[in-house]
Structure 1
């Protein structure tokens, strides 16, 4: 759609596609994410000639979007720890000179240098990938960053505690990342995988519910999980 994404416009576009293909009697559900305009668009189908629109589950909410909401609610609880690592990586990657200096530092420790990317706030999986890529370099990043910013009182110094939390978070979020990848497939049906993946996520939430490092995150995620 190259015009306003209002509920009416969304409804009209979907309806035109259904009518063009003549599949009014073949629609079981429509999958959309949780944007309010999408939910309102679904309500407009109540007066259409499509069967089953009165069924409670006619609107099949996008599983990957729900996972995104669940995980982001948890990450907010450990944001301060993650932000320390994010800031350190951003500082190192902020200039070519620092990148070169960090590469030389890695080489001096017989470690293969690499670059790091900061995450995007709207995509939790980018946070997962950022932490996962940085963990093998935790000691090098900490020493390089803390020494070079020692006189900068505006910057929090990295600690072992930051990396310990990051380690637990990466282990904890792996199943959510894997589920997102599996359910984002385009060359195979994904709906039949959803219920199995829901059990995987519920099991991980249960396992980590008593881990002091992520307990607050788990509580927030369980609440969001149960809402959907």
Structure 2
């Protein structure tokens, strides 16, 4: 959209798309994110609005994580470790080498995407799989202070 994202402008854009696609008599509901301007735009169209289930679930998961201080702190540390490996070629190479020494094809640590709730799960899942190799690589590059104890991960 080239205009401001007001409810009226969004409604006008949606109406234009519905008309261009010949869907005037076929649209009975629209799914959007939970932004107030989107909800208002759909309401102005006088069709039923459904909030995006994936975004709603993501908001619930993020709120839940904030209520669990131990898990939030652990998440922050893991995100820091992942960020380190994605920004340090030396550490990344050490992690690859540690995996090869275990006879495994190298995997990258997964990046968390704030708008995708399952990425939090995947970042922990991948970290747990590579915990020993990550710890080894961090020690070899002089970043032992970043290492996590296995007991932290399991609790």
State yes or no: 1:82 paired with 2:75: yes
Indicate if the aligned counterparts of 2:91 and 2:137 stay in contact, CA closer than 8 A.
Answer: no
Q: Distance in 2 between matches of 1:27 and 1:101?
A: 55
Greater RCO, CA 8 A, separation 6+:
1
Contact 1:85 1:162 in 2 (8 A): no
- The 3 A distance-change label for structure 1 pair 115 and 45 is closer
Partner of 1:71: 61
Corresponding residue of 1:94:
87
Runs of 5+ consecutive residues of structure 2 not aligned to the other structure: none
Provide the residue aligned with 1:28 in structure 2.
28
Count how many residue pairs are aligned between Structure 1 and Structure 2: 151
Query: Could you tell me how far apart the structure 2 residues matched to 1:22 and 1:106 are?
Result: 55
The TM-score with structure 1 as length reference comes to: 0.56
Specify which of 139, 150, 154 is matched with residue 160 of structure 1. Answer: 150
Using the alignment, how far apart are the partners of 1:114 and 1:141 within structure 2? 11
Q: Structure 1's 90 and 22: CA in aligned 2 closer, same or farther, altered over 3 A?
A: closer
Aligned partner of 1:17 in structure 2 is 17
Q: State the TM-score, normalizing by the size of structure 2.
A: 0.78
Q: Conserved in 2, the CA contact under 8 Å of 1:31 and 1:60?
A: yes
Q: Structure 1 residues 107, 45: closer, same or farther in 2, change over 3 A?
A: closer
Query: What is the SS of the residue equivalent to 2:56?
Result: helix
Give the match's secondary structure for 1:26: coil
Alpha-carbon RMSD across the aligned residues, in angstroms, is 2.5
Q: Which runs of 5+ in 1 are unaligned?
A: 47-52, 166-228
